[in-house]
Amino acid sequence: MFRFWKLTLEVSEEARSFVSDFLLGLDSVGVAEDIQEEKGIIQVSAYFSKDMDLNPLMESLSNYTNFLEKNLPGIRVGNTNVQEIDRSSWEVWKQELKTVRAGKRVVIRPPWEEYVAKDDEIVVEINPSMAFGTGHHETTRLCIQAIEEVTQNDRVEHVLDVGCGSGILSISAVKLGAGEALGFDPDPVAINEARKNLERNFVFRGVRLFCGYVESVKGKFDLIVVNISAEVLYLIRNELKSRLKKGGKLVASGTPYSRRDEVVRGLEKVGFILDRELRDGEWIALIFSVDKKAI
Judging by DSSP bridges, how do beta strands 100-101 and 41-49 pair with one another? unpaired
pLDDT at 134: 62
pLDDT at 130: 43
pLDDT at 256: 85
The residues facing 50 across adjacent strands are: none
pLDDT level of residue 14 (50, 70, 90 thresholds): confident
Domains recognised in the chain with CATH numbers: 3-95 (3.30.70.260), 130-294 (3.40.50.150)
| SS3 assignment, position 65 | helix
pTM of the model: 0.72
Q: What are the backbone dihedrals phi and psi of residue 262, each rounded to the nearest 5 degrees, phi first? A: -60, -45
Per the model's pLDDT, the better-predicted residue between 239 and 165 turns out to be 239
121-141 pLDDT tens trace: 999 998 765 445 666 678 889
| CA separation for the pair 288, 64 (Å, rounded) | 32
37-88 pLDDT tens trace: 556 678 888 878 777 888 888 888 888 889 888 888 888 888 888 888 765 5
pLDDT at 39: 65
Weakest-pLDDT range from 8-12, 32-36, 100-104, 217-221: 32-36
pLDDT at 242: 95
Weakest-pLDDT range from 18-32, 170-184, 270-284: 18-32
Query: Interhelix angle for 260-268 vs 230-242, to 10°?
Result: 30
| Angle (nearest 5°) at CA 136 between 273 and 25 | 90
| CA separation for the pair 116, 160 (Å, rounded) | 29
Average pLDDT of the segment spanning 247-268: 93
Per the model's pLDDT, the better-predicted residue between 2 and 293 turns out to be 293
Contact 276, 287 (CB under 8 A): yes
Beta-carbon contacts of residue 254 (< 8 Å; ≥ 6 apart):
17, 139, 226, 227, 228, 229, 230, 233
Nearest to 164 by CA among 140, 190, 143: 190
| Angle (nearest 5°) at CA 125 between 119 and 129 | 155
pLDDT at 110: 84
Per the model's pLDDT, the better-predicted residue between 22 and 249 turns out to be 249
The residues facing 223 across adjacent strands are: 159, 249
Judging by DSSP bridges, how do beta strands 244-256 and 221-227 pair with one another? parallel
Judging by DSSP bridges, how do beta strands 244-256 and 41-49 pair with one another? unpaired
Beta-carbon contacts of residue 168 (< 8 Å; ≥ 6 apart):
108, 124, 126, 133, 134, 135, 140, 144, 197
pLDDT at 87: 57
| CA separation for the pair 135, 119 (Å, rounded) | 21
- Average pLDDT score over the chain: 86
pLDDT level of residue 274 (50, 70, 90 thresholds): very high
Q: What are the backbone dihedrals phi and psi of residue 49, each rounded to the nearest 5 degrees, phi first? A: -60, 140
pLDDT level of residue 161 (50, 70, 90 thresholds): very high
Query: Is the pLDDT confidence value at 92 over 90?
Result: no
Percentage of residues in the chain having pLDDT higher than 90 = 42
Average pLDDT of the segment spanning 89-101: 66
pLDDT at 217: 96
Contact 11, 77 (CB under 8 A): yes
Beta-carbon contacts of residue 242 (< 8 Å; ≥ 6 apart):
none
